[in-house]
Amino acid sequence: MAGMLYLVPTPIGNLGDISLRCRETLEQADFIAAEDTRVSLKLLNHLGIKKSLVSYFEHNKATKGDLIVQRILAGETCALVSDAGSPAISDPGEELVKQCAEAGITVCAIPGPCAAITALSISGQSTGRFCFEGFLSTAKKSRKEHLDSLAAETRTMIFYEAPHKLLSTLEDMAAVFGADRPISLCRELTKLHEEVVRTTLGEAVDKYTDTPPKGEFVLVVAGATVTEKESATPADAAARVAELMAEGLSRKDAIKQTAKELNLPKNVVYDAALQE
């Protein structure tokens, strides 16, 4: 009889957040697949669990995935853990779940710590409707495309970001969503220096220009208000830019003024004016 794959979430900071069920599953599994075996070994030592570990991470997942599936099909039970939080959420695991599902293996996800949901709960932003956007690409073009695609998004948006890229991400977001858009920066959740900064994109840019960010961050950005979304179309923006230029304003000033008047991000007005 085939074994099973368990997705076992681990603490995102506070080791006390490991659940009884996660602990039992780690104890009872035949083997543990871990993103970084050194990181998981620390947790297992803390829990007093000795278990055989195999590494399963971004760059070996194609070959290791097949091996893990074969072992499960042969009857073993595998517990998958990532470095922190829920496996398969911006972490290795997505592929393994697909592979197991295709092979007819039962997959069981144990609920537990997830940085995105912890941040959303504490953010103070609307939680009724939200979308998870993961990490933005490091490539400038695809980052811009990703953010542009969210310009009219009315749901609360959740992003993961590394501290060294935080400032440029905030600048890019302010350019697309506007400097007044509310954001909650949720830092070092469940750790000693946990902090939630509820501010606007413009103020966040100023803050982290003065003091470079440290630690792990989840960004929870308010969605566009319905009035923002419905106030003006790119065609309205292009027409207003043309009107202002006919009145003698430079293209740059006309775009700036139109963005302000119509409450649209400057780059949206710029693109609309160019297309016209």
Binding site for ligand SAM (CB under 6 A): 12-13, 82, 84-86, 89-91, 114-116, 160-162, 186-191, 216-218
Tokens of 68: 């893990």
How many C-beta neighbours within 10 Å does residue 42 have?
Answer: 11
Nearest distance, CB of residue 276 and ligand SAM, angstroms:
39
**In the complex with ligand SAM, which residue's Cβ is closer, 162 or 274?**
162
How crowded is residue 205: how many other Cβ atoms within 10 Å of its Cβ? 21
Q: How far is the CB of 126 from ligand SAM (least distance, A)?
A: 20
Q: Minimal distance in Å, beta carbon 121 to ligand SAM?
A: 12
Query: What is the separation of C-alpha 12 from the centre of its chain, rounded to a whole number of angstroms?
Result: 14
CB-side neighbour CA atoms (13 Å) of 36: 8
Which C-beta is closer to ligand SAM: that of 159 or that of 270? 159
> Given the complex with ligand SAM, which of 116 and 175 has the nearer CB atom?
116
* Shortest Å distance, C-beta 263 to ligand SAM: 30
Query: Where are the strands (E) in 193-232, listed by range?
Result: 195-200, 217-221
Least separation in angstroms between residue 56's CB and ligand SAM is 14
Using the minimum distance from each CB to ligand SAM, give the nearer residue, 168 or 231.
Answer: 168
| Secondary structure (3-state) at 110 | coil
Sort 188 into a burial class: Cβ within 10 Å, 0-12 / 13-18 / 19+.
middle
Give whichever of 50 and 164 is closer to ligand SAM, judged by the CB atom: 164
- Report the residue closest to ligand SAM, judged by CB: 85
**181 by DSSP, 3-state: which?**
coil
